[in-house]
Amino acid sequence: MKSLAALALAASVVALPAEPKGQTISVPIRYNRNAVRPSASDALATAANKYAGAAGGLWSNGDGSGTVITKPTNSVDRAYITEVEIGTPAQKLFLDFDTGSSDLWVYTNDTKAGIANGVTLYQPGDSSTAQRLSGETWKIYYGDGTSANGVVYSDVVSIGGLAVQNQAVESVISADSFGMSGLLGLAYDVGNTVKPDQQKTWFSNIKDSLKAPVFTVRLRHQADGSFDFGYINSSLYTGDIVYAPAFTDKLGHRLFAVDGYSVGGGSVVQTGFNATADTGTSLLIVSNDVAKDYWSQVSGSSSQDDGNGGLIFFYPCASLQNLPDFTLSVNGNTVTVPGSFNTYQRGTSGSCEGGIVGGGAGGMAILGDVFLKAIFTVFDDGNNQVGFALGQ
């Protein structure tokens, strides 16, 4: 392992793909059957922390002075993880691929004792291609006032056989224990937290080597799925892909406009809001009014205030197979989540936690895993758009 001065960084350390153009890869997403799932209330609190710094976020609980990304519940394993190789020789780690953030951070032997128990660490000292980027640091602020921080290395990062040389790898020094080796952000570069020199994501660095600057996500309920890079696999969806122009905020989220929604076979409610599809969020989060409208059509349902202005919902599990569909109106078309996907988890005494929850009075909608298990999702940076189709 070598060390580079910050001045040398700008002049000589440029993350470059080591691959020829025209590449495509399909990377398995492993469903972690040993994952301990948090309650819907805890999952909603995680999302609140993540979006506290975003303009039009779920609700206001921060001063907006820092960058806020995923803070998984302590000691809760992530349900979906993907293999990544870092360094030379390759060190295999399973990371959470997060379309809602822009940092690649991992636990390493720099991490303070007691934080990363039971997870595989990245060992930069064992990699001949690792370089410490002197003067470069990162720090993530969370909506609850805590933070994570560390130093930055440059190393080879390979996913599905496609390698980026000199990829920024952020080493955790201080943070909570998140029950996984780290996280790989796939949002826009503007959300990256490294200072003084903001770094690019792995996808941003590799996309010029791909057949097309696009990636797709296919999550599955309690089963393995895939991230596909460079192409769109038509066998993973049915019908046409509905596209919408993408734009962003200061945290790098790929946002798109929603024109309205409907529940079951009801008429469209014309109420516009922005949304983002986020693999780092578990729930389908909309405004309180939209969530209440949905669950008002489920007999026996009830709501509970989460303590931060949001609402979570419960309903009799006997109705699990009869939940209404939830449809978004997007760019003159519709995207429908079948009712069978709108459960978060079974509770006790015959009660289930709903997967559609309220994030407060307004702000953006966060289309997390509840949405993504039903909907094949396309992130098309070449055409600056996002796309959705019913998964198969």
Residue 71 inside a domain? The answer is yes
User: Is a pLDDT exceeding 80 seen at residue 44?
Assistant: yes
d(CA 237, CA 230): 17
What pLDDT is recorded for position 42? 80
Pairing verdict, β 284-286 and 356-358: parallel
On the question of pLDDT at 154 being above 50, the answer is: yes
**Residue 26 resides in a domain:** no
DSSP 194-215: -BSS----HHHHHGGGBSSSEE
Considering the domain architecture, whether residues 335 and 368 belong to the same structural domain is answered as yes
What pLDDT, in 10s, does the model give residues 343-376? 998 887 899 999 999 998 768 999 999 999 999 9
State how many domains the chain has. 2
Q: How confident is the model at residue 307 (pLDDT cuts 50, 70, 90)?
A: confident
Domain of 110 in residue numbering reads as 66-225
Q: What is the per-residue pLDDT for 17?
A: 59
Read off the pLDDT band of 55 (50, 70, 90).
very low
pLDDT band (50, 70, 90) for residue 341:
very high
Lowest mean pLDDT among 2-6, 155-159, 216-220: 2-6
**Tokens (6 digits) for 170:** 């952020």
- Identity at 86, one-letter amino acid code: I
Decide if pLDDT at 6 tops 90: no
Residue 1: inside a domain, yes or no?
no
Q: How confident is the model at residue 41 (pLDDT cuts 50, 70, 90)?
A: confident
Instruction: Say how many C-beta atoms besides its own lie within 10 A of residue 77's C-beta.
Output: 19
Spatial distance between the Cα atoms of 383 and 392, rounded to a whole number of angstroms: 24
Question: Which residue type occupies 278?
Answer: D
Q: Is 275 in the same domain as 171? A: no
Q: Are residues 217 and 249 in the same domain?
A: no
In a domain, 132, yes or no: yes
Tell which wins on pLDDT, 247 or 115. Answer: 247
In a domain, 33, yes or no: no
pLDDT(299) > 80: yes
Q: Is residue 50 assigned to a domain?
A: no
23 falls in which pLDDT band (50, 70, 90)?
Answer: very high
For the entire predicted model, the pTM comes to 0.89
The verdict on 77 and 211 lying in the same domain is: yes
Give Cα separations from 102 to 253, 280, 335 (angstroms): 9, 11, 26
Pair 199, 276 in one domain: no
End-to-end CA distance of the chain: 45
What is the predicted pLDDT for the residue at 224? 86
In terms of domains, do 219 and 326 share one? no
The verdict on 288 and 154 lying in the same domain is no
Higher pLDDT, 181 or 71: 181
In this prediction, residue 370 carries a pLDDT of: 94
Find the mean pLDDT for residues 377-383.
Answer: 98
Predicted pLDDT of residue 363: 80
How does the average pLDDT of the chain come out, rounded?
87
- Whether 199 and 318 map to the same domain: the answer is no
Over residues 21-38, the mean pLDDT reads 81
pLDDT of 226 over the 80 cut:
yes
Q: Among 98, 103, 259, 306, which one carries the catalytic annotation?
A: 98
Same domain? 245 vs 321:
yes
Same domain for 240 and 194:
no
Of 191, 225, 259, the one marking the end of a domain is 225
Active-site hit among 259, 278, 293, 381 = 278
**Amino acid at position 27, single letter:** V
Contact 43, 72 (CB under 8 A): no
249 is known as an active-site residue: no
Boundary of a domain, candidates 188, 203, 225: 225
Going by C-alpha positions, the residue among 246, 228, 245 that lies closest to residue 237 is: 228
Helices (runs of H) and strands (runs of E) counted in the chain: 5, 27
Annotated catalytic residue 293: no
* Domain-ending residue, one of 166, 190, 225: 225
42 is a domain residue = no
Out of 3-12, 173-182, 260-269, least confident range: 3-12
- Do residues 199 and 246 share a domain? no
Structural domain includes residue 374? yes
Q: What is the CATH number of the domain that holds 361?
A: 2.40.70.10
153 with 302, same domain: the answer is no
Instruction: Please compute the mean of the pLDDT values over residues 227-250 and round it to a whole number.
Output: 97
